Amino acid sequence: MPARFGAITASDWMKRRDMSKPKMQFRVLGAVLGAAAAFAGQRVATAGWHTVTGEEPPDPSDPTVSPVKAYAWSIGSTLLLGTLALLVQRFVATRSEAAADELGAG
C-alpha cells in the first residue's frame, strides 16, 4: 500500500510538485510584467493628462485642486492602470495554460 499524505498518494504528490515549477515561473512573470505595466501605465497616464490639459496631473488629496480635476485624474488613471493589469493577467494566464498543455502532452 503506498504511503499517503491525506488523500494524495506519494506519487501524486511528486507529480503535483513537479508541475508547480511552471506555475511559480508564471507567477514571477506575472509580477514582473505587472510592475512594468504599472510603471509604464503611470507614465502614459501622466503624459496623456499633460497632453490634454497642458498641466501636470493634480494631487487628488490636495484641497486646493478642484473636485472635477481630482475625480477626472483618479478615474482616468485607474481605468488605464486597471486595463493594463487585466491585459497582463490574461497574457500570463494564456501563456501558463499553453505551457501546462505542452507539459501535459509531453
Q: Where are the domains of the chain?
A: 21-55, 58-105
pLDDT score at 3: 53
The rounded Cα 22 to chain-centroid distance in angstroms is 17
**pLDDT over 60 (residue 84):** yes
Report d(CA 11, CA 1) in Å as an integer.
Answer: 12
DSSP 58: P
26-69 confidence digits (pLDDT tens): 888 889 999 999 999 999 999 999 999 999 999 989 999 999 99
Asked if residues 87 and 81 have their Cβ atoms less than 8 Å apart, the reply is no
Long-range contacts of 43-50 (CB under 8 A, 24+ apart): 44/80, 45/76, 45/77, 45/80, 45/81, 48/76, 48/80, 49/73, 49/76, 49/77
Mean pLDDT of the chain: 83
At 10, is the pLDDT very low, low, confident or very high (cuts 50, 70, 90)? Answer: low
Mean pLDDT of all residues in 92-98: 86
